[in-house]
Amino acid sequence: MPEQNQPSPSGVRLALITGAAGGLGRAFALGFASRGYKVAVADVNAAGAEETAEILRSKGTESLALKVDVTDVASTEAMAAEAAEFGGGRIDVVVNNAAIYATVTRSPFEEIDPAEWDLVMGVNLKGPWLVTRAASPYPGDGGRVINLSSATIYSGSEQWAHYVASKGGVVALTRVMAKELGKRGITVNAIAPGFTLTEASYGLMENAETYGVDRGSIKRASQPEDIVGAALFLASADSSYMTGQTLVVDGGRQFI
């Protein structure tokens, strides 16, 4: 991941986005495409990844669809190698968006199935580690890593211990990686979105459009574009002296 202000051989920067078959990941892909990036779209759902890539291509963006299991070393390494080749030997931005969210079972912490606990931790916490580990050598000097946490780590959402713990771990991982990768000019930051209206969120409850709006300083529901703007800032030269930080983007429901 080279220095942000240095052009790639083709003059176009590359963003690698995981969990981009739909929802917030697809919104990230569209956002980076709108800023002139090539976009590598990665997801365990290969058909969904290809659909996102086709949407980007229809808008004139060079895009590559990749199937990846973010919990698997070989899979993440193959994904990163293909993405880097597509990017002319470099990966400029990594957005670690892949997560288990809508399908997580809500239950008291003592009743959580240990197998589901391991699955959530594997995708939501191990995933960002493995993806960043695989991408960092291309070519290994400069770049941006953006991890997705969740504002729920500050409120402690009941009956969701495995999800909340996994997203809290993302913040801790972000800080460690910022220290280690900062020596190579790579910044690592996180975004902690509040409840955002995606396909997954609509599937969680009937009143998704109004959920939590009364608790926010900004009295409207969060749209994916609200989160995308924060990612574009963290990928830009404007944030070049900012690392190890977590941006809470929740309409002012919580002040950290």
CA distances (Å), origin 5, targets 92, 170, 249: 10, 27, 26
- Per-residue pLDDT tens digits for 166-177: 999 999 999 999
Q: Phi, psi (5° rounding) for residue 64? A: -125, 130
The whole-model pTM stands at 0.91
Which residues are CB-contacts of 143 (< 8 A; sequence separation ≥ 6)? Answer: 1, 2, 3, 4, 90, 91, 92, 93, 94, 185, 186, 187
Domain ranges of the chain: 14-249
208 contacts 202 by C-beta, under 8 angstroms: yes
pLDDT above 90 coverage of the chain, percent = 72
216 contacts 252 by C-beta, under 8 angstroms: yes
End-to-end CA distance of the chain: 31
For residues 75 and 163, give the distance between their C-alpha atoms in angstroms, rounded to a whole number: 23
- Per-residue pLDDT tens digits for 43-100: 999 999 999 999 999 999 999 999 999 999 999 999 999 999 999 999 999 999 999 9
Q: State residue 7's pLDDT score.
A: 44
Which one from 163, 202, 211, 241 is the annotated catalytic residue?
A: 163
Mean residue pLDDT across the chain: 89
Mean pLDDT (whole number) for 229-235: 96
**Lowest-confidence range among 95-99, 108-112, 122-126, 132-136?**
108-112
Q: Please give the single-letter amino acid code of residue 97.
A: N
Mean pLDDT (whole number) for 6-15: 68
CA distances (Å), origin 245, targets 17, 116, 249: 19, 29, 13
Q: State residue 3's pLDDT score.
A: 45
Q: Please give the single-letter amino acid code of residue 190.
A: A
Question: What is the fold of 14-249?
Answer: Rossmann fold (3.40.50)
- Look up 163 and say whether it is catalytic: yes
The answer on pLDDT for 182 being more than 80 is yes
Nearest to 96 by CA among 53, 126, 140, 67: 126
- Per-residue pLDDT tens digits for 94-118: 999 999 987 888 888 999 999 999 9
Which residues are CB-contacts of 15 (< 8 A; sequence separation ≥ 6)? Answer: 28, 29, 32, 37, 38, 39, 40, 92, 93, 94, 95, 235
Q: State residue 170's pLDDT score.
A: 98
For residues 217 and 90, give the distance between their C-alpha atoms in angstroms, rounded to a whole number: 40
For residues 228 and 235, give the distance between their C-alpha atoms in angstroms, rounded to a whole number: 11
Q: State residue 5's pLDDT score.
A: 39
For residue 85, give both structure tokens. Answer: 């080749």
